[in-house]
Amino acid sequence: MSKGYSLSAETKSVLNKYNIRLNHKLGQNFLIDANKRNQIIEYGNISPDETILEIGPGIGTLSLEIAKKAKRLICIEQDRKVADILQKRAMEESIDNIEIINEDALKVDFPEFDKIISNLPYQISSPITFKLLEYPFKSGILMYQREFADRMTANVGSKNYSRLSAMLYFKVDVEFLMNVPSECFMPKPKVDSTVVRLTPNDRFKEDGKLFRNYSRICKALFQHKNKKAENSLINSRHEIDYSDKKELKNNLKSIESERLEDLLEKRVINLSPEDILDLTKELEDIL
């Protein structure tokens, strides 16, 4: 019996034992390939003194093995029934270092942690990743939909270049580790996945307020990434706390700066993260 089949059989057994019907709205696709699971955990390079955060642990496919290597594992699981099953499975295996938070990961504050290792639910990949950037951590081993992972490191000017690419640039280095075919999950999703490593970098050396403004500018710009930056800002002015179009136009004109004029004329998709940071600094007085 192969390891992959063994984990598949184990998953089916747990689901049947607890009469679990998978909730597609919560992105419940369980990993059933033991080799892939083991690789993910090995990539985490877990030390026995580290606290690991896992979002969307499900029935504990990763959790139970992570907990055996870490000092503490914090799991955030929204589904009450699934969280209870994870708790029972941990007790059955005499694992007592798992803390389960039965909340929506998008709404709860993360406790302190050293690393994050997760097979993220696809539908919250973007907001969870942005939220993660607000916390200090050593590294993250995260599984995403393959298309999403491609956007994380997209080059300026490419079709995949996005707010995600620009935001991650100043916070983390992204390393592709391995692809995970859809056949490795139960139920089988329509897309393949990619495991990446996120390692915090020190590219952003400015104060926190500037990065918050950078984030707001990115959010406004990339809603219209094929338009000129000026038009994008005006069309998405609510993201930078403007309701009056005329007021924003007048404020933009009031800033005498050749650099600003040049940046506002560029299409958003052609603005590098450094360009967007410069734009943010130029607009600091009117934000």
Same-domain check for residues 142 and 257 = no
Same domain? For 181 and 70 the reply is: yes
Q: Long-range contacts for 39-42 (Cβ within 8 Å, ≥24 apart)?
A: 39/177, 39/178, 39/195, 40/117, 40/119, 40/141, 40/143, 40/195, 41/65, 41/66, 41/69, 41/117
Same domain assignment for residues 263 and 132: no
Quick one: 29 and 161 in the same domain?
Answer: yes
Per-residue pLDDT, 3 = 43
**Distance separating alpha carbons of residues 28 and 120, to the nearest angstrom:** 9
Q: Which of 154, 69, 153, 150 is closest to 115 using CA atoms?
A: 69
Total number of domains constituting the chain: 2
Whether 216 and 125 share a structural domain = no
**At which of 147, 177, 200 does a domain end?**
200
Are residues 79 and 173 located together in one domain of the fold?
A: yes
Q: Which of 200, 219, 253 is the last residue of a domain?
A: 200
pLDDT for 184 equals: 95
Residues 168 and 71 in one domain: yes
- Structural domain of residue 273, as residue ranges? 208-286
pLDDT at 45 (0 to 100): 98
Please check whether residues 155 and 230 belong to one and the same domain.
no
| pLDDT for 207 | 85
CATH number for position 234: 1.10.8.100
Query: Are residues 213 and 196 both part of a single domain?
Result: no
pLDDT of residue 279: 98
Residue finishing a domain among 200, 226, 242 = 200
Residues 221 and 269 in one domain: yes
Residues 35 and 168 in one domain: yes
Which residue, chain included where needed, has tokens 């696809």? 122
Does pTM top 0.75 for this prediction?
A: yes
**Which amino acid does the sequence have at 78?**
Q
Task: Report the side by side order of strands in the sheet with 172-180.
Answer: 98-101, 72-76, 51-55, 115-119, 139-145, 193-200, 172-180
For the domain that residue 89 is a member of, what is the CATH number?
3.40.50.150
Question: Is 248 found in the same domain as 195?
Answer: no
pLDDT at 6: 84
Please report, in tens digits, the pLDDT of each residue of the chain (287 residues total). 334 448 999 988 898 888 877 665 555 688 999 999 999 999 999 999 999 999 999 999 999 999 999 999 999 999 899 999 999 999 999 999 999 999 999 999 999 999 999 999 888 999 999 999 999 999 999 999 999 999 999 999 999 999 999 999 999 999 999 999 999 998 888 899 999 999 999 999 888 899 999 999 999 999 999 999 999 999 999 999 999 999 999 999 999 999 999 999 999 999 999 999 999 999 999 99
Q: Which helix (H) or strand (E) holds 246?
A: helix 245-254
